[in-house]
Amino acid sequence: MNSIWEDLKYSYRTDGTTQRLIYWNVGVFIVSQLVLLIFPVWGSQCLNWMALPLDLQAWMFQPWGLITYTFFHASFMHLFFNMLVLHFAGRLFETYFNGQQTLGVYILSGIGAGLLCMIGSSLFGFNGSIMVGASASIMGLLTAVTAYNPVMPVRLMLIGQVRLWHITGCLLFLDLIQWKSDAGGHFAHLCGAVFGVIYMLLLQKGTDLSRLIPGANPWYAKWFSKSKTPLKKVHVNRTPPSNNSNLRKVVQKTKEQQQVDEILDKISKSGYDSLSQAEKEFLFREGKS
């Protein structure tokens, strides 16, 4: 059990923002289910306070719901399928963009979709009074990376290689044809997808909306920022003064420090995922020392 816990902590420290988002979604679901099991009535009330009210007047009394609803799920299957797509979309997005942008698109797509769903509910009268789930945020990530590189090749099991826009197009088409079964949920998916495209179009013009998230919520974003590996202190040997030169410092790097530098150079050129498992473990050990 201790080994599993250490592996989870290591994964949380070293993996990207997508993996951290998955951990938070799963963790919130586990805690919420335990609360419901132990305190059914009180737990249900608390979960309603974490959801997004579809009524604008009710939302005025719990504005935090625009963010918290993206981390709560109604059932295990709801969570399971959302996390599968989040892992897929987030990994593709982080192929081109950093963790701050991943978190930014996730949060902003959820906020934008939530606002439009409240407006849509007042106009079309969606079923239900609250909304939970990360689907809108995930669709924002997927459409953002699709807008950036629609012809990116993706290999699917049993199907083979397809283009990214094929996958995104199929998911959006399913939302459209299943509209009547859950109008509010599918409307949220489409709204999240729209915000993902808007984000990418603005980014390509030089405006990165993801900077709004860490600037406004440093306490929130720091949970998802990739931990920096602290470097060991550089040893400085002082040479005695000579007749032809003044006192100078000679910096000597240890063998371990040289290896750390080589790994960091590799990360800057090819990204963290290019490291081998041995290099990741070495970097983690050096960071703790």
What local confidence, expressed as pLDDT, does residue 271 receive? 66
Q: What is the distance between the alpha carbons of residues 60 and 58, in angstroms, rounded to a whole number?
A: 5
What local confidence, expressed as pLDDT, does residue 230 receive? 45
Which regions in the chain score pLDDT beneath 50? 215-221, 229-253
Tokens of 244: 């032809």
Q: Angle at the Cα of 211 (from 207 to 216), degrees rounded to 5?
A: 135
Q: How many CB atoms lie within 10 A of CB 88?
A: 17
Which strand (E) or helix (H) includes residue 53? strand 52-53
What local confidence, expressed as pLDDT, does residue 129 receive? 78
Strands 160-163 and 153-156, bridge-based pairing: antiparallel
Domain boundaries, the chain: 4-219, 255-287
What local confidence, expressed as pLDDT, does residue 249 receive? 36
Tokens of 180: 């009547």
Q: What is the distance between the alpha carbons of residues 167 and 144, in angstroms, rounded to a whole number?
A: 13
What local confidence, expressed as pLDDT, does residue 224 receive? 52
What local confidence, expressed as pLDDT, does residue 246 receive? 43
CB-based contact 154:162 (threshold 8 Å): yes
Residue type, 198: I
Residue type, 141: L
The CATH code of domain 4-219 reads 1.20.1540.10
Give the pLDDT confidence of 149-178 residue by residue, as tens digits.
999 999 888 888 899 999 999 999 998 888
